[in-house]
């Protein structure tokens, strides 16, 4: 039989208990599970992912786990926004079925030493400055998949490289999980929503929307100049950022996300991707051509 959706949010901290619940759902006829993995500090971008998950009519599990292994700098982990009480209230209001919120020791037992080793796809973009980051991301996502046993998982497109790597992991490891990707949710001034945005000073918050303005500018130039090279477009964007107060650019690339290759001329399968620090806050964004 089909399991009834529960009437109030159930909060699960135990891996074993979450697995038992999900196994019961899996064994019931016509019931499906959809997972929305998060690190907490929920904002409108997360809410859009949850609403998309609810639209599947499956049983919705939202996970909140601040994964220490994917942070290269301890300070970044310590200062990452933590709003668990407010997150719970939001999830209750959204009528989510389950919140899976394990402690670190539940996920990484004493002596933990097994991980996913992402190959070529990690050697680009964010992976160049964040050694081991995507191995840790892939490992925790696979663990969450094994614990919650979803038929569907929903991810945002802001973390584009992460999305590409997770899709590739699912393909390579023959996982029977459908990935739904959701467009970037933005503030009214175009800034991509991120849990880190609250760390911006007032002055830097005024500068931050220039990231997206620059992306739109390059997309327009590409439309007007059909044969504009990726090299020239990247230089134009870098100059635009420098002129407008964004000087600490980690990377700007135009990349075909199907293959993680860099074409000479952008195509409809390409994204322009950027990572930059504004003050002490690292922001990423992207736009499809």
Please determine whether the domains at 10-182 and 195-284 fall in the same fold group of CATH.
Answer: no
CATH class for the domain made up of 195-284? alpha beta
- 66-100 pLDDT, tens digit each: 999 999 889 999 999 999 999 999 999 999 999 99
Q: pLDDT above 70 covers what percent of the chain? A: 98
pTM over 0.85: yes
Catalytic positions: 46
Mean pLDDT for all residues in the chain: 96
CATH number of 10-182: 3.40.50.620
Q: In whole angstroms, what separates CA 34 from the centre of its chain?
A: 16
- Beta carbons of 166 and 179 less than 8 angstroms apart: yes
3-state helix vs strand vs coil in the chain, percent to 5: 45, 20, 40
pLDDT exceeds cutoff 70 at 6 = no
* Domain ranges (residues) in the chain: 10-182, 195-284
């Amino acid at each position: 039989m089909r399991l009834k959706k529960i009437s109030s949010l159930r909060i699960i901290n135990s891996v074993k208990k979450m697995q038992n619940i999900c196994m019961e759902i899996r064994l019931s006829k016509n019931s499906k599970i959809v997972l929305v993995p998060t690190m907490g500090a929920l904002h409108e971008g997360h809410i859009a992912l949850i609403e998309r998950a609810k639209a599947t009519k499956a049983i919705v599990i939202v996970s909140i786990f601040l994964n220490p292994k994917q942070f290269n700098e301890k300070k970044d982990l310590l200062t990452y926004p933590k709003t668990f009480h407010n997150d719970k209230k939001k999830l209750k209001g959204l009528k989510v079925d389950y919140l899976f919120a394990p402690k670190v020791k539940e996920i990484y037992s004493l002596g933990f030493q097994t991980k996913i080793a992402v190959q070529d796809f990690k050697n680009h973009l964010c992976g160049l400055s964040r050694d081991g980051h995507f191995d840790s991301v892939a490992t925790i996502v696979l663990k969450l998949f094994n614990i919650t046993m979803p038929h569907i998982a929903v991810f945002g497109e802001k973390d584009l490289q992460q999305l590409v790597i997770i899709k590739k992991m699912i393909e390579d490891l023959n996982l029977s999980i459908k990935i739904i990707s959701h467009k970037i949710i933005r503030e009214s001034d175009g800034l991509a929503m991120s849990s880190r945005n609250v760390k911006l000073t007032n002055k830097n918050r005024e500068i931050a929307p220039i990231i997206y303005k620059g992306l739109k500018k390059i997309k327009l130039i590409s439309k007007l100049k059909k044969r504009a090279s990726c090299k020239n477009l990247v230089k134009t964007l870098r100059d635009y950022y420098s002129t407008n107060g964004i000087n600490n650019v980690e990377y700007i690339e135009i990349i075909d996300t199907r293959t993680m290759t860099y074409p000479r001329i952008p195509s409809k399968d390409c994204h322009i991707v950027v990572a930059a620090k504004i003050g002490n806050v690292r922001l990423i964004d992207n736009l499809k051509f």
